[in-house]
Structure 1
Amino acid sequence: MTSSPGGEPSFLNPRILIPFLLVSLIWGSTWLVIRDQISEVPPIWSVTYRFIIAAAAMFMLVMLRRLPFTLDRGGHFWAILLGVFQFSFNFNFVYNAELYITSGLVAVLFALLMIPNAIFGRVFLGQRINGGFLIGSAIATVGVGLLFLHEYRTSPIASGQVILGILLTIGGILSASAANVMQALPKPKSYPIITLLAWAMLWGALINMLVSFVTVGPPVFETRPSYIGGIVYLAIIGSVVTFPLYFALVREMGAGKAAYSSVLVPVVAMILSTLFEGYQWTTLAAGGAALAMAGLLVALRSGKPKLPPVQASAKDARPD
C-alpha cells in the first residue's frame, strides 16, 4: 500500500483515491436530489422510504458477498447508535434544512464536517489537532459566514427561517460527525462494515417509521416519476454505494481525514444548484465560497492529527 512519509495511507493510492472521488461526486449530486424530495411528502417519510430500500439492498449485498448476516448484542448496540445518528437524526436534519435554504448552501456548511470530526476525535480518540488545521478551519468558517450573509441579503424568505435552516444543518453535521467517529472506535471496527451498515440502516428506517407515525401521521407517498426515481437514486447510489466506501475510508484513515471529501462535495453541489435551482452568484457569495474551499484545503494540507504516543503504539487503538 502506498503511504505518506509519516506512514499514513496516501491519497495517491488508487484504493484510497478512487473511492474518495466517487463518494465526493455522488454526495455532491445528492443534495439537489434531496431538494426535489421536499414536496407534499413530509421529509421524515421520504427519509424512511430511502432507508427501507437502502437496508434491503444492503442485506442483499451481505448475502452476495457471503458475509455474516447476524450481529451479537454488542453489534446491535453499535448498529442502533449508527442508525439513530447517521440514518435518522442526520438525514432528518438535512431534509428539513432544505425547506429553508438552498441545497448548495447546505452542502457548503456541511463541508465543515471535518471540524467536529477533529474535535470529537480529540475527545474520544485522543487525536491531536495541529495549528494548520485550526488556521484552515478558521478561514473556512469565515467563508461560510460570508455565504450566509449573502443568503440573508438575497433570500425571499424571512431571515428567521434562514437561521432555522442553518441550525438544522448544524444538527445534521453534529449527528453525522458522531456516527463518523463511532466508526473509528475499536469495537465497531471489529464487525464487517457492510453487515453493520445493513443493520444500522434497518434500525434507522424503523426508528424513522415510528417517529413518522407519531409526528406526521400515516404514510404519504408521491407518484411523481422524479420523486420515485430520486428515492431509488438516494437509496442505492447515494447510500448503498457510498456509505460502505466512506466508512471504509474512515476505518482506514480516521474520521478527520475521511471528512476531507467535504472539500469536493460542495463544489459539485453549488454547480448543480446554479444550473438547476437558479442560485445567483454575487461577489460576496463567490468570495465566501472561495474562502471556504481555501480554508478546507489549508486544513487538508496540514495533515491528519497525530495520536498520542501511548495510543499510537497500540494498533487496536488507532483510528486509521
Structure 2
Amino acid sequence: MAAFLFFAVVLIWGTTWYAIHMQVAVTDANTAIFWRFLVASALLAGWLKLSGKWKAAPRQDIPLLALLGATMFSCNYMFMYRAEQSISSGTVSVVFSLAVIFNMLNQWLFFRIRPALHGVVGGVLAVAGVALMMGVTGASLTEIDGIALALGGTACFSIGNMISRHLLLKGLDLPTVVCRGMMWGCGFTGAWLLLTGHGLAGSWQPGWVASLLYLAVPGSIIGFVAYLRLVHVIGADRAAYTTILSPVVALVISSIAENSVWSASMGAGIALVLVGNLVSFFPWHKLKPRA
C-alpha cells in the first residue's frame, strides 16, 4: 500500500506541471488558477459536508486562513503559471523542489528548528544549481525571468507551509484548513482578475477542460490526500522523497512533449538542485553504527 501511494504521488505531482503548461497556452494564467481552485475547493467542501467532517474555523484564525490562501493557493500559483510561459514545465518543477530548502530555513526563522549540517550542505548545492540554471554562463533574459518567478512562487509556497503548520499546532483540522485556504486563494485570484480588467471566463477547448479537471481533482485533492496518508504510513522524512522524484517525471514529460533542449549549464544546474535536495533529506543518521 505504501509503495502504491508513494508512486501515485510522484506520478500525479510530476505530471501536473505539463497540465499547467497546457492551460497557460490557451488562457490567461490567473484565469486558469481561479478555475482550478474554484473546482477543487467546491469538490473538497462538498465531500467534507457529505462525510460530516466539515468543521467551523475560529474567528480569530480567519486572517491567518486568508493569508494562507493568498500565499499557498494564489500568489504561489500566479508566479508558477507565469514562469511556465518563459521556461519549460520540467525546469519549473525542479526549481519548485527547492521548497524543501525554503522550508528548512523558514522553520529555523519562525519555529527555531535548527537545520542539520547535511541540510545546509544540500541547500548550498541546490542554490549553486539554481545559479547555473539562471545562466551565470549566459541564459536569456526570458529564462532568467522565468526562474526568478518560479523562485518567488516557491518562497510563497513555503510561507504558506509555515502558516499551515502554525494553524495545525493550534489544533485546527487539516482538511478544513486546506479547503478554506483554497477558497480564500480562489477569492483573491478572482478579485485580482476583476481589478486588472480580466474576465473570469475560462475555455471550453477539450485540452483546457481536461487539464483543469486533472489539476483540480488529482493534482489538488487526490495527490494531497495521498501524500498525507503516506506521511502517516512511512513518516514525513521518507515521504519527502516524492518532492525529489516528481521533477524527474516532469523533466521526462517536458523533454518529450515540449521538445525541451537544455544547455550544459542548465543540465548541470538541474542535477545540482536534485542532488542538493537528496543530500538534505537522506536519513544520514541511520548510517551511524549502533553502540
TM-score by length of 1: 0.79
Q: 2:28 matched to 1:63?
A: no
Counterpart-to-counterpart distance in 2, 1:204 and 1:285? 33
Counterpart-to-counterpart distance in 2, 1:303 and 1:272? 31
Q: 2:21 matched to 1:35?
A: yes
CA contact (8 A) 2:73 2:186 kept: yes
Q: What's the offset of the Cα at 1:185?
A: 2.1
Q: What's the offset of the Cα at 1:298?
A: 1.1
Helix, strand or coil at the partner of 1:168? helix
Counterpart-to-counterpart distance in 2, 1:274 and 1:150? 23
Counterpart-to-counterpart distance in 1, 2:93 and 2:246? 7
Counterpart-to-counterpart distance in 2, 1:78 and 1:296? 29
Q: What's the offset of the Cα at 1:75?
A: 4.0
Residue correspondences, number = 284
Counterpart-to-counterpart distance in 1, 2:87 and 2:267? 17
Q: Which residue of 1 aligns with 2:30?
A: 44
The C-alpha deviation readout for 1:36-71, integer Å capped at 9, x for no partner, is 111342111110011110011111220233113422
Q: What's the offset of the Cα at 1:32?
A: 0.6
Q: Which residue of 1 aligns with 2:188?
A: 207
Q: What's the offset of the Cα at 1:142?
A: 2.2
Q: Which residue of 2 aligns with 1:235?
A: 216
Q: What's the offset of the Cα at 1:238?
A: 0.5
CA contact (8 A) 1:75 1:188 kept: no
CA contact (8 A) 2:131 2:269 kept: yes
Q: Which residue of 1 aligns with 2:156?
A: 175
Match of 2:250 among 269, 273, 277: 269
Q: Where in structure 1 are there 5+ consecutive unaligned residues?
A: 1-13, 154-158, 305-320
For 1:191, give the aligned amino acid: L
Given the superposition, is the C-alpha separation of residues 258 and 189 from structure 1 closer, same or farther in structure 2, using an over 3 Å criterion?
farther
CA contact (8 A) 1:193 1:244 kept: no
TM-score by length of 2: 0.87
CA contact (8 A) 1:90 1:171 kept: yes
CA contact (8 A) 2:70 2:184 kept: yes
CA contact (8 A) 1:50 1:234 kept: yes
Given the superposition, is the C-alpha separation of residues 257 and 179 from structure 1 closer, same or farther in structure 2, using an over 3 Å criterion?
farther
Given the superposition, is the C-alpha separation of residues 163 and 149 from structure 1 closer, same or farther in structure 2, using an over 3 Å criterion?
closer
Q: Which residue of 2 aligns with 1:9?
A: none
Which segment is superposed worse, 94-103 or 137-146?
137-146
Q: Mapping of 1:240-255 within 5 angstroms?
A: 240-246=221-227
Counterpart-to-counterpart distance in 2, 1:95 and 1:150? 24
